[in-house]
Amino acid sequence: MTSSSASLIDALAHRRGIHLSPGWAAALAENIALTDADCPHRICADLNWPEPVELKRKPKAHQFPLLLFAPDTGWCLAEQWQNSKEIRTITPNGVVIVPWSDDLQIVHVPFPA
């Protein structure tokens, strides 16, 4: 996975079996960094998509894949539970296991129909 916000959304869509239309990222601001805590909100605003939904509770297995923000990695794909206390994520640097914490920011991006 590359380190661009467009690549992150493209990878999320692919893992959900969603095919985005060609040129979908044309309206996306190029300067949305994955280290920006508002990245998913800014992406959805730029593309006129519904707002991302922040999960307030520990996600269930069927809710994955999701986006996860951790201060040391920025936004990444949250693939699945590694075990009951850790989430397997995919970052630009590869697979990273993130310990569960109520402080993690996890969002569901509702792709347009």
Residues 44-60: pLDDT tens digits?
Answer: 999 999 999 999 999 99
Residue 113 falls inside a structural domain: no
Over residues 21-31, the mean pLDDT reads 85
Separation between Cα atoms, residue 16 and residue 4, nearest integer Å: 19
Residue 9 falls inside a structural domain: yes
Counting the structural domains of the chain, the total is 1
Residue 17 falls inside a structural domain: yes
Residue 67 predicted with pLDDT over 80: yes
Residue 97 predicted with pLDDT over 70: yes
What CATH number is attached to the domain comprising 73?
3.90.70
Separation between Cα atoms, residue 5 and residue 61, nearest integer Å: 24
Residue 52 falls inside a structural domain: yes
At residue 10 the predicted structure's pLDDT band, cuts being 50, 70 and 90, is very high
Residue 63 predicted with pLDDT over 90: yes
Range of the domain at 34: 5-108
Q: For residue 84, what are its two tokens?
A: 């009951």
Computed over every residue of the chain, the mean pLDDT equals 91
List 109's β-bridge partners, or say none.
none
Question: Residue 12, exposed/middle/buried by CB under 10 A (0-12, 13-18, 19+)?
Answer: buried
Residue 60 falls inside a structural domain: yes
